[in-house]
Amino acid sequence: MRIAKFTRLGFILAASGSAVGLGNIWKFPYITGEYGGGAFVFVYLITIAFIGITILIAEMLIGYLGEANSVTSFEKLAPKNKKVWKYAGFMAFTGLMILTFYSVVIGWIFNYIFKSFSLPSNIEMAESEFNIFLSTDITTQLAFHTIVFLIIISIVVKGIKAGIEKLNLYLMPILTFILIGIFLYSLNLDGFSKSLEFMFNFNFEKLNSQAILVAVGHAFFTISLGMAAIMTYSASIAKHTNIFRTSLVIVLVDTLIALIAGLALFAFLFEFGSEPSKGPGLVFISLPAIFSEFGIFGNILALSFFISLAFAGLTSAVSLLEPSVQYFIDRFKHSRLKATLLSGGIFYIIGIIALLANTKNFGGNLTFGSKNFFDWIDFITTAFLLPLGGILMAIFVGYIIQKDRVKSLLEPQMGSLIFNIWLFSLRYIVPIALSFVVLNELGVISLNF
């Protein structure tokens, strides 16, 4: 008998909290700026509809039917070759790898919460402060990385109900409230009309093959797919949960927050004549300098923004840790405390190495080829492991699990037409699209137009 650990609302908030992270508020705006605005947003939304939702339903289905960690779920649901398919559950540790550098970035955000009270007066000063912080201030970075580690393990060790669900019940509404408040304020700025045009003027002349591949990859990353977080959460939802309807709610929340964040941030940028294509430094360089233009109110805006960013990071971070924790509990019969400390210790120690890779004193020794250790982990997980996880889930649900079992559960929720479209997308569109992403990132193929 299935033991329901999540309430329906708790699951939606937890899954949305996993999806709504730094990818929405930090990464989505800057890659939208880099790839020309509206045309990129259009491709991103199409990708969400035909790839993101498709894989989300498949991942939820595996967790719902498997009722266990990712390794056990694949092993349990495979009608044959169980010992082979259990290795598809590696994605439980993909999230742990992402957390090694994700925790470091959340630490940067914590630092900028305090810096909200003394904002740099211009872009040059902001860039100098950020670069000095990254390259020389090891002590501060290590302190905040440690604080983030302690917060994450203190939540996960309490379990699904008392820890993860409760965190999201508080933080997700607060996060949404803060972002909507910033968005509503941005409506009064002259730059908002330019932001609206930039985000939704679909000028396809600026669209190229690289932008399309980035849109596919980001759509996959932002919903937390391929890292076993949604799968692990889905193992603890109530029987008769409508997987299709719940997936739509999760994607809707995730996409709306990304669009709201993008519109608000670009409004501030255009208000003061800044360029939207500032890359990763958009949040840590451009925005602090722009907020300073508002005087004391700018400090309040900066504080609110970085708090919302920290909340988004934390709700995602706990979902990155939980799959490996559940794996150690189920497979090795560890207590939750022991499993949490073991998984937490792994991401904390590797995170220190990732942190040092960006510094002046240690960066040279931690650089291999064209990337340092921090960038390599980011690249391997987002360009290879996440899409590979998606391909394996698409094949597993599309071809390995008995079709009648999938159909009997999902067709009543979707209707025959939508179910057939979903299954076609899962079997053909998703594997091909994600394979192109992987092969392009690895340099095996090069798509240019």
**Tally of structural domains, the chain:** 1
> Tell me, what's the pLDDT at 18?
83
Helix, strand, coil share (%) of the chain residues, nearest 5: 80, 0, 20
Neighbours of 3 (CB within 10 A): 9
What value does the mean pLDDT take over residues 402-415? 94
- pLDDT for 446 beyond 70: no
Reading the block at residue 206, the tokens are 């600026």
Closest C-alpha among 325, 326, 323, 317 to residue 341: 325
Q: Is the pLDDT of residue 168 over 70?
A: yes
Please, which pLDDT band fits residue 327 given cuts at 50, 70 and 90? very high
CA distance 85 to 416: 29
287 against 340, higher pLDDT: 340
Mean pLDDT comparison of 63-67, 236-240, 433-437, highest-scoring range: 63-67
Higher pLDDT, 143 or 239: 143
CA distance 93 to 321: 9
Which pLDDT band, with edges at 50, 70 and 90, does 3 fall under?
Answer: very low
How much is the pTM? Answer: 0.92
Question: Does residue 397 form part of some domain?
Answer: yes
Percentage of the chain beyond pLDDT 90 is 62
Residue with tokens 């800057």: 30
Per-residue confidence (pLDDT) for residue 4, from 0 to 100: 44
- Higher-confidence residue: 240 or 97? 97
pLDDT at 447: 59
Supply the mean pLDDT for the chain: 89
- 43 inside domain: yes
CB atoms within 10 A of CB 361: 10
Q: Is the pLDDT of residue 100 over 90?
A: yes
Answer yes or no: is 263 within a domain.
Answer: yes
Q: Is residue 122 part of a domain?
A: yes
Task: Tell me the CATH number at 418.
Answer: 1.10.4160
Asked if residue 447 belongs to a domain, the reply is: no
Whether residue 3 is contained in a domain is answered as no
2 domain residue, yes or no: no
| pLDDT at 2 > cutoff 80 | no
Give the CA distances from residue 7 to residues 167, 376, 445, in Å, rounded to whole numbers and listed in that order.
14, 38, 45
Residue 360: give the domain boundaries: 8-441
For 56-70, the pLDDT digits (tens) are 999 999 999 999 999
Give the pLDDT mean for 206-221.
Answer: 76
pLDDT digit string (tens) for 246-283?
A: 999 999 998 899 889 889 988 998 888 777 666 567 78
What's the pLDDT at 286?
86
The two three-digit tokens of residue 32, written as one number: 């939208």
24: confidence class by pLDDT, cuts 50, 70, 90: confident
Q: Residue range 188-204: average pLDDT? A: 87
Residue 1 lies in a domain: no
